[in-house]
Amino acid sequence: MEDNFQPLIIALCCNWCSYAGADLAGVSRTQYPPSIRIVRVMCSGMVHPNLVIDAFTKGADGVLICGCHLGDCHYQEGNYKTEKRADAIKLMLADFGIEEERFRLEWVSAAEGPRFGQVVRDFTEQVRKLGVSPYKL
Amino acid sequence: MSSSDPIQPHPVGAALVVGGGIGGMQAALDLAHGGIKVYLVERGPAIGGVMAQLDKTFPTNDCAMCTMAPRLVEIGRHKDIELLTLSEVERVEGEPGNFTVSVKKQPRFVDATKCTGCGACTAECPVTLPSEFDLGLGERKAIYRPFPQAVPNISTITRRGISPCEAGCPIHQSGQGYVTLIAQGRFEQALQVILRDNPIPLICGRVCTHPCTAACTRTHVDDPVNLPALKRFVTDRCPDYKLPQPTVPDRPEKIAIVGSGPAGLLCAYQLRQKGYGTTIFEALPVAGGMLAAGIPSFRLPRPLLNAELDRLRAIGIEILLEAPVGRSITLEELRKSYAAVFIAIGAHVERKLGVPGENMSGVTGGVEFLRRLNLGGPVLPGRHVLVVGGGNSALDAARAALRCGAAEVTIVYRRTGPEMPAAQREIEDAEREGIKLMFLAAPKSFQLGHGGRVAGLECLKMKLGRPDASGRPAPEPIPGSEFVIPCDAVVVSIGQVPDIDGLGERLGLATTKSGTLRADPLTLETDLPGVFAGGDCVTGPDVVVGAMLAGKKAANSIDRWLNSRDLRAGRELEGPYHTEYVVDTAGVLMQRQIPVPSLDPVTRSRTFDEVSIGYTAEQAITEAKRCLACGICCDCHLCATACQANAIDYTQMAETQELKVGAIVMAPGYELFDARLKKDLGYGRFPNVLTALEFERIMSASGPYSGHVLRPFDRKEPKRIAFLQCVGSRDCDHDYCSSVCCMYATKEAIIAKEHLGEGLQCDIFFMDLRAFGKGFEQYYHRAQDLGVRYIRSRVPKIEEVSGTRNLIVQYLAENDRKVSGEYDLVVLSVGMQPPKDVKVLAERFGVALNKFNFCGTSTFRPAESSRKGIFVAGPFAEPKDIPETVMQASAAAAQVVSLLREARGTLITPEVYPPERDVKGEEPRIGVFVCHCGTNIAGVVDVPAVVEYSKTLPNVVYVENNLYTCSNDTQEAIKTRISEHHLNRVIVASCTPRTHEPLFRNTLREAGLNAYLFEMANIRDQCSWVHMQEPEKATEKSKDLVRMAVAKSRLLQPLARRSIAVNKSSLVIGGGLAGMTAALSLAHQGFNVHLVEKQNELGGNLKHVHYLLNGEQPQAELARLWDEIRHNDRIAVYTEATIERIEGSIGDFKTTVAGGGKTTTVNHGTIIVATGAREHKPMQYLYGQDERVITQRELEERLVAGDGFLVANGKQPTVVMIQCVGSRDSEHPYCSRVCCAEAIKNALRIKELSPQTHVYVLYRDIRTYGFKEEYYTRARQQGVVFVRYDEDCKPEVAPNGKGLQVSVFDQTLGMPFTIAADAVVLSAGIQPHEDNHQLAQLLKVPLNSEGFFLEAHMKLRPVDFMTDGVFLCGLAHSPKNIEESILQAQAAAARAATILSRDSIELEGNISQVVDESCDGCAYCVDTCPYKAITLLEYKWQGSIKKVIETNDSSCKGCGCCQATCPKKGIFIRGFTLDQIEAQIHAALGVA
């Protein structure tokens, strides 16, 4: 494994809480590694499991889904559905030979800018340790 | 009176809303959406109120900012809401329908039209002060936005004004500015601040007398800040500085300046900066005037002086030496060759003593002596030298004589030390060097010695007499006291005058009696046009900075004169003036000025080396930190330099504007009780005692400790927290309950435990736990389950443990045992009070206040003030929670719209867009606009590289970079580019779509493009700001984000916002108080109503209410409502009717109503659910078995019936009331909210009718929130006995002979208790109707677990359902009293009116779309849709059954749960399709 390996992570963030949390990380100048590429979705509940698998098979080193805290969903219950789908995604990952640790679901509120940074730092480090995606090798 | 009363004929279609908190915001939005133009006046720099400061809200623990931020943005961008921040109403005149309001707006010092809120200014600002938003727990800058999401997104400078040091400086150098920067070690910037006004700071740091220090506020504490030493420090520290080159083009005019002293130099500098050519004519062979000729080098080293002059030459100032005007060149010649002339020749001629022998050898003038010394080198005047005089020149001469080799130097002065005009420091320095001072001696004659040289000075002894014109005691000679001082040289240094001899004559200028040139004191004009004069030659000898002022003034006058501008206007503040601010010096520690190190006196007195050494950096920083920051903003102008939008404007002043409005909504909010007033609780003294709002900020992720729950003293995590309730509520000064504290303390305890783990001990000390709202009781139980302890006691005193600074809470437990507990942190649940200046406020608006100084309202007019046309909302009326505030605000809006209905729509701005260009079939032509955001992006990201890269991306046909893409001029530019380059997709690479997408989408619409052909790349929040240390990677990531945006953009399609014509009538289901109120409100607003009631008459529960606590008459009000409805043509009433079917959606519903044996179908645009609730039917306490056991409602009927029930007939009957019957138990796990007040109402009524009757109230918690507390107090005063029982130990009722026996375990006394009762009254709770389920299904809206209808959001949308167009009010929502039902009903009407007032509504374009070919009707999506917007259709096609889904555009919110569920790509969200998301992901991964 390269020591200076910088993973490439796709982050799907819901518009109302976690994308706003990422914005607040910016406003607060919270520094985190330049590893993530954020794709804005209206609700974490709109992320089809196939999108996650597709991202991995196309070479993503990690995939992060971020939504509102449970109970905070702008659409009432979208994130509960996300939570269930995340379990399904984890099962699918095994079939594709992808370590479960490359995928993460996190709840980040609009007020948790620094926490968003922390999530990115932690997850980046976790993925970094796993090394380059098997689909890239 | 009612809001339907006619008002004057032509009302104004605008309303004023006072207060930008959540109440004001709600009212503003409802009004604007209801067709009324709104002026929203907010005192602070941003809207949001207290809610913006909250971390979470109860009982859902929602993030407060998450829920309110979109609302802030909506207000900020609303075309019909004019936001007036930093503003206050000064006067209200006129009548309902037509008020004139004066609003005073304080300056922001930032041009709101230019500021983009980028925050570059804040980063540069050196001034920090306690953040109001964080309640002083954190800091902010002097230029700031109160919180990141602040609206308006504009910076504000906190600026008290020009600080006293700056005002006191003749040339207004920003003393506070450079001192503040020095304190932070920002020396180079400090120097730049100095150079802004002073081109010769090296000189001034050494020889200026610094009038600024005399004005320094610190003088009142100990010593002034040593500004001269600090100024010298920075100039020494950065010796190679350069003067700023003129930033304007050179002008053709040349100006002649006569004299190169400080006046001439300043004038030349100022004019040069304005682009003029400047030539200085100097008579002497050296430049600098008195600086060069008069000041000895041990005070001003010559290399430094020459360096300053060279710097001036370097910016193009010409200095001609040995060019005496009036001799080698005449003034006339100068006037011909130059556009203007400034005479600043100084005062170089000595004053004479006028005593015999003054021309003797060995007697010289001080100036002459110093000039010879300075121009020619050391000259020994004699061995024993006398210096006559007491000014700085005399001191300079004496010290110079010593350095020239004199054995002894004595200063002879006719007064005493304190009267000497020389600087004290110079006198002390001279004495240390060995110079003697002889006081009270005045020369009488010079004594002749050998060779015609002076040998002694004959003096007269003097004594001090009365003060003379200078204010000092006049010296008076003592006759016969002559004595002789032997000497061999005398230097007479008693002042100078201008070169009188022929000066005016030589120059052709008028002179004064004292021999100075005559010039206008303000403009420095002389009698000759274009010739100005100033400095010592006009004023007589003055200090250096006085001459500099003259130079500055002359430059100003010359510039005005050459540009034909008024020479006199607006010059009041030129020169020194006095300012003084009330600076809080409490707590400022005494810290004397740091002395400036100097060479030791013995060494220095023999050399011309500079005496003063100056501060070290450490000393300078320490000294600079003594500044008290009088002006707050230090006037350093760094923000102005940082702001690339040129938005900083220090000249802004307060402005008053007059507004015409038809009505007013007052929602000015509240103040928190000042906990310092409860001295025994230690707030303000003990650092670990906080208020609840402070604790809220501490818990907030955006708060001062970034969401780490720490105590302030040692920033350690607390292990034990005590919450003290009722601090500033329910006491003798506040006989009301603040209504929210029990729940916010519960919330804070829960959240603190979430942060710190369940091990955290949270104890809440309370009297009655008032969890009376919807979902509150369950929340209270949840807290208990989490281990939060509730201790029933009022804590009288807190003590602090020294060392740990922990806190000892002492209290009486319920059994009267004294207990004390130790805590790491104590949180005070401070109550709500009216705003501080509420009386002024009430007077300005002409509204009455109640006895608690709130703007109390009446039960049946709950949103109206005492003045017609002025409505109230929020805690200004009565302490209340967010949802009640929001409801009252909406209710106020409904009233306003009723009042102004004739003018509705007259003042709102119509939305007009050009026709949309059809881009179908066009190849994507993408334009990319990359934003610098000042330096916010460009400071880290290589913007040109991103631009170049963007050009290489597919379908990108145009790329440009903009300084601020969001600025108004760039919007115009984007429109032009769209048309020039025929763009059909636009990408802006800048900040976040959450705040800026609406702006750019609007720009697209204005350019004739569909709004959805837009995409953003957030390269600020996701690149430059979060990867500041890795600019290259931030640049690469920015390119990736643009590439992702392009990939998505290529797949974007224009989306239609479907428009629905609105049917302008509403269905109201339920004809009780809420339904009747809602129906009337809508009718008054001009809409038709179908009012459906299942009973045979309207009135509901109100029919059973006969009197109220406050004496109002409910039955009279009910009769009035009946009457109004009967006579209102707009209301169709259906009694004994039920709802059979509801079809359609917002704007266009169709409902089948069955009743009276027929069914009717009605069309309507909105629905209001007001189906009410019913009284619980008790099954316990012998109810129904013994007729002496009745409910409160039955009691009320009996008392009204006047049948003598409970009236004392010679005996003393006893009534026992039992609370919480059918409330707060396992079957009804909620509080019925009204029963406590009802019981007290009836108890008081019994006491009124029959004072001898004993009344016992058996209760669990008395929940008389708000102003109802007063009646609880009154009931106790009147002898009603309150006995508290526990849920586990309920009272028992048994027959006992003729009467009843009630047994109860009194928790307060800790003992059982039996009462022989004549009647038992049960406070039966409120229960939802069983048929709510049926209606909920028809409406597709949810119920909560108890069977009440569930609103869209408990805090901010208390009358809305998630289903658009359907609203909720009254008991159907949750238990509530009459006033609250009315408010909620009016609020529902207001919300419905925001739809009904429009002809059509546009639905969001980002909604679901079915792909019929792919859908196989599996219906997974049907269940997953949170909005029930998807229906499964089955149909026969070619003989077989086909299934497909259909979505309802009006119900769909675009969450996309369907898209993520569908296995076949059979449904997608427009604008967020799987293909589009996939394209973005692929682009991010660099795969095609």
Condensed to tens digits (0 to 9), the pLDDT of residues B933-963 reads 877 899 899 999 999 999 999 999 999 999 8
Residue B892 phi/psi, 5-degree rounding, is -60, -40
Residue B803 phi/psi, 5-degree rounding, is 90, -80
A10 and B1484 within 8 Å at the Cβ level: the answer is: yes
Q: What is the pLDDT of residues B523-542, one digit of tens each?
A: 999 999 999 999 999 988 88
Q: Is A8 on the interface with B (CB under 8 A)?
A: yes
In the three-class reduction of DSSP (H, G, I as helix; E, B as strand; rest coil), residue B545 is classed as helix
Contact by Cβ (8 Å): B707, B701: yes
Segment (H or E) for B1002: helix B993-1006
SS (H, E, C) B1324-1371: ECEEECCCHHHHHHHHCCCECCCCCECCCECCCECCECCCCCEEECHH
Contact by Cβ (8 Å): A102, A56: yes
Contact by Cβ (8 Å): B728, B738: yes
Chain B positions in Cβ-Cβ contact with residue A27 (cut-off 8 Å): 119, 148, 1021, 1025
- pLDDT for A3 equals 64
In the three-class reduction of DSSP (H, G, I as helix; E, B as strand; rest coil), residue B1454 is classed as coil
Q: Is A83 on the interface with B (CB under 8 A)?
A: no
Q: What is the pLDDT of residues B1062-1115, one digit of tens each?
A: 999 999 999 999 999 999 999 999 999 999 999 999 999 999 999 999 999 999
A12 to chain B, closest Cα gap in Å: 9
B707 and A19 within 8 Å at the Cβ level: the answer is: no
Percent of chain B with pLDDT over 70: 99
Give the contacts of B979 (CB within 8 A, at least 6 positions apart). Answer: B1007
A39 and B1026 within 8 Å at the Cβ level: the answer is: no
Q: Which of B55, B1457, B1481 sits opposite A51 (nearest CB)?
A: B1481
Lowest-confidence range among B20-24, B417-421, B887-891, B1223-1227?
Answer: B417-421
A62, closest residue in chain B (CA to CA):
B1485
Q: Is A122 on the interface with B (CB under 8 A)?
A: no
Q: Which of A26, A39, A75 sits opposite B1455 (nearest CB)?
A: A75
Residue B1300 phi/psi, 5-degree rounding, is -125, 150
Region for residue B1280 given its phi and psi (left: phi exceeds 0; alpha: psi -120 to 50; beta: otherwise): beta
Q: What is the pLDDT of residues B254-278, one digit of tens each?
A: 999 999 999 999 999 999 999 999 9
| Residues of chain A numbered 24-63 and touching chain B (CB < 8 Å) | 24-34, 37-43, 45-51, 54-55, 58-60
pLDDT band at A1 (very low <50, low <70, confident <90, very high): very low
A28 to chain B, closest Cα gap in Å: 8
Chain B positions in Cβ-Cβ contact with residue A50 (cut-off 8 Å): 1474
Q: What is the pLDDT of residues B97-130, one digit of tens each?
A: 999 999 999 999 999 999 988 889 999 999 999 9
Q: What is the pLDDT of residues B612-663, one digit of tens each?
A: 999 999 999 999 999 999 999 999 999 999 999 999 999 999 999 999 999 9
Contact by Cβ (8 Å): B1345, B1214: no
Mutate to test the interface with B, among A8, A47, A75 (most CBs of B within 10 A): A75
Contact by Cβ (8 Å): B1300, B1186: yes
Q: What is the pLDDT of residues B418-461, one digit of tens each?
A: 889 888 888 998 999 999 999 999 999 999 888 889 999 999 99
Mean local confidence (pLDDT), B874-893: 98
Q: Which of B1033, B1044, B1460 sits opposite A48 (nearest CB)?
A: B1460
- B32, B180, B1142 from B823: Cα distances, Å: 50, 40, 58
A71 and B707 within 8 Å at the Cβ level: the answer is: no
- pLDDT for B499 equals 64
Contact by Cβ (8 Å): B298, B608: yes
Among B886, B890, B1382, residue whose Cα is nearest residue B1112:
B1382
Statement: residue B1006 has pLDDT above 80:
yes
B1456 and A41 within 8 Å at the Cβ level: the answer is: yes
Mutate to test the interface with B, among A17, A36, A40 (most CBs of B within 10 A): A40
pLDDT band at B995 (very low <50, low <70, confident <90, very high): confident
Mean local confidence (pLDDT), B1395-1411: 92
Lowest-confidence range among B496-500, B623-627, B845-849, B1462-1466?
Answer: B496-500
Give the whole-angstrom CA distance, residue B830 versus residue B881: 14
- pLDDT for B1231 equals 97
- Locate B746 and state its tokens: 């519960």
B1425, closest residue in chain A (CA to CA):
A78
Region for residue B1101 given its phi and psi (left: phi exceeds 0; alpha: psi -120 to 50; beta: otherwise): alpha
Mutate to test the interface with A, among B54, B1021, B1462 (most CBs of A within 10 A): B1021
Statement: residue B85 has pLDDT above 80:
yes
Q: Which of B1029, B1036, B1455 sits opposite A43 (nearest CB)?
A: B1455
A58 to chain B, closest Cα gap in Å: 7
A81, closest residue in chain B (CA to CA):
B1457
Chain B positions in Cβ-Cβ contact with residue A55 (cut-off 8 Å): 1481, 1485
Q: Which of A46, A77, A78 sits opposite B1472 (nearest CB)?
A: A46
B148 and A112 within 8 Å at the Cβ level: the answer is: no
Q: What is the pLDDT of residues A15-36, one digit of tens each?
A: 988 999 999 899 888 999 999 9
A6 to chain B, closest Cα gap in Å: 11
Mean local confidence (pLDDT), B1404-1418: 92
B157 to chain A, closest Cα gap in Å: 19
Mutate to test the interface with B, among A9, A31, A37, A135 (most CBs of B within 10 A): A37
> HSE-up of A114 (CA within 13 Å, CB side)?
10
- pLDDT for B505 equals 72
Q: Is A20 on the interface with B (CB under 8 A)?
A: yes
Q: Which of A26, A27, A41 sits opposite B1472 (nearest CB)?
A: A41
Mean local confidence (pLDDT), B1153-1167: 93
The C-alpha angle B37, B38, B43, rounded to 5 degrees, equals 165
Give the whole-angstrom CA distance, residue B463 versus residue B769: 83
The C-alpha angle B972, B976, B982, rounded to 5 degrees, equals 145
- Alpha-carbon radius of gyration of chain B: 42
Among B745, B779, B757, residue whose Cα is nearest residue B709:
B757
Statement: residue A120 has pLDDT above 50:
yes
- pLDDT for B1208 equals 56
A37 and B1460 within 8 Å at the Cβ level: the answer is: no
Q: Which of B1022, B1459, B1482 sits opposite A48 (nearest CB)?
A: B1459
| Residues of chain A numbered 85-114 and touching chain B (CB < 8 Å) | 85, 109-114
Length of chain B as a residue count:
1488
Amino acid at A116: F
Query: pTM score, two decimals?
Result: 0.85
Q: Which of B148, B1426, B1487 sits opposite A76 (nearest CB)?
A: B1426
CB atoms < 10 A from the CB of B912, how many?
6
Percent of chain B with pLDDT over 90: 81
SS (H, E, C) B478-520: CCCCCEEEECCEEEECCCEECCCCCHHHHHCCCECCCCCECCC
The C-alpha angle B119, B121, B127, rounded to 5 degrees, equals 115
Q: Is A118 on the interface with B (CB under 8 A)?
A: no
- pLDDT for B1 equals 39
Mean local confidence (pLDDT), B1173-1181: 96
Residue B1162 phi/psi, 5-degree rounding, is -120, 145
Mean pLDDT of the residues in chain B: 93
pLDDT band at B783 (very low <50, low <70, confident <90, very high): very high
Give the whole-angstrom CA distance, residue B625 versus residue B397: 36
Statement: residue B2 has pLDDT above 50:
no
CB pairs under 8 A between A and B: 173
Lowest-confidence range among B108-112, B138-142, B345-349, B1194-1198?
Answer: B345-349
More reliable by pLDDT, B1155 or B750: B750
CB atoms < 10 A from the CB of B238, how many?
13
Chain A positions in Cβ-Cβ contact with residue B66 (cut-off 8 Å): 16-17, 20, 68, 72, 109-111
Mean local confidence (pLDDT), B831-853: 96
Q: Which of B61, B66, B1426 sits opposite A17 (nearest CB)?
A: B66
Give the whole-angstrom CA distance, residue B430 versus residue B428: 5
